[in-house]
Amino acid sequence: MLKADIAKKLKAIHPEFTKQDLQEIVELVFENMAQALEEGRRVEIRGFGSFSLHKQKDRRFVNPKTGVETFCPSNYRIVFRPGNKLKKVDS
């Protein structure tokens, strides 16, 4: 699903808003989520899931194509944990 699809669904539910306004709202929501993650804060959407940052350790790996051992420094990665409603969809 794309951000434009979210705006279209919102337009169907709330026809009193313009398409431009709804696109700006969707964009603002995602910008604020990204900013919160950059600041190291957790983002939770009730019923859907939560996004958080986890530190990944330094590691060494071997490129299977060339056989060269490479070092990968520690970094942060975004982890998504599904909420209860989303977990029920998988079952």
pLDDT by residue (tens digit) across 44-68? 999 899 999 999 999 999 989 999 9
Confidence of residue 90 (pLDDT cuts 50, 70, 90): low
pTM for this prediction: 0.74
Q: Name the band, by pLDDT with cuts 50, 70 and 90, for residue 91.
A: low
| Residue boundaries of the structural domains of the chain | 3-90
Structural class in CATH, domain 3-90:
few secondary structures
The CA radius of gyration of the chain, in Å to the nearest whole number, is 19
Q: How many whole angstroms separate alpha carbon 3 and alpha carbon 89?
A: 22
- What does the pLDDT read at residue 18? 94
